[in-house]
Structure 1
């Protein structure tokens, strides 16, 4: 057996599929993709993808997040990227913030002093 660091980095990501509804807090060290509906807070160590059909009603704390779907709640992450189909309806706290044309975010955005904001043009 390898050490725990190697075992963690090779762990299978978690997928919550379209049509799946989860109520309650989710905690994970590995990468998570949400295509279903989460009603609760998420604490994700590695990173999170919210798919186009993904809906999160709760707060998120993760290292990095890419949003194609909808988040209703506070998002705290080192890196946040909102794709053209994505929406974050709530407070955003981050260091790096990328927003594609067409994306929606409402609420206060607070960033670290050395944070970078990039407005990306959607590729057609």
Structure 2
């Protein structure tokens, strides 16, 4: 006695019967089965907001971040960040490296320079050790900064600004 069933042979072995038994296979995949486009695009799509990437609190990454989109860092990151979007450093985060972005919000710790940002916001829990070049700067009471700051000049993005402020414990002179 066998454990499997023997295949039953049909008496019609013509090409007509074989063609009828084959399912129709379309030449292209239907719209629903096509793979989705990647979430990352080199240029933002008009009318749509940029996507945000998150480095979670328990994550430590060493490397480089580049591209278009917003980045929120809640963990530890060592390396340079260069994005066409916003960078947010959460209160428990620590970033070591230079940052280039449209808007930089610091609630954690940044050890490195901020280069050519349109706006920098240093929150109450934020600490910056490094130089800053931005179109505008907001500093909350209680924040800390050690380094030079250049802001408010049209040529800040070129790096040729002559106006500087020395930062020490959140004060400028």
TM-score w.r.t. length of structure 1: 0.83
Cα deviation, 1:50-77, whole Å, max 9, x if unaligned, reads 0001110000011101110000000121
Answering whether residue 55 of structure 2 is matched by residue 37 of structure 1, we say no
**2:108 touches 2:127 (CA, 8 Å); kept in 1?**
yes
Q: Which runs of 5+ in 1 are unaligned?
A: 116-124
**Distance in structure 2 (CA, Å) of the matches to 1:59 and 1:5:** 23
The answer to whether the 8 A contact 2:44-2:68 is kept is no
Gaps of 5+ in 2: 1-42, 157-173
Task: Tell me how far apart the structure 1 counterparts of residues 151 and 80 of structure 2 sit (CA, whole Å).
Answer: 21
Match for residue 91 of structure 1?
131
User: Partners in 1 of 2:132 and 2:63 — Cα distance?
Assistant: 21
Higher radius of gyration, 1 or 2 = 2
CA contact (8 A) 2:44 2:50 kept: no
CA distance in 2, matches of 1:41, 1:113: 24
Q: Residues 22 and 8 (structure 1 numbering): CA distance in 2 closer, same or farther, change over 3 Å?
A: farther
Distance 1:46 1:101, change over 3 A: same
Higher RCO structure, 1 or 2 (CA under 8 Å, sep 6+): 1
Please state how far the C-alpha of 1:109 moved relative to its aligned partner. 0.7
- Answer yes or no: is the 8 Å Cα contact 2:91–2:126 preserved in 1: yes
Q: 1:8, 1:30 within 8 Å by CA — same for their partners in 2?
A: no
Aligned length: 112
- Greater share of strand: 1
CA contact (8 A) 1:49 1:65 kept: yes
Aligned residues of 2:50 and 2:68 also touching (Cα < 8 A) = no
Of 59, 67, 86, which residue of structure 2 is paired with 1:47? 86
Normalization by structure 2: what TM-score? 0.60
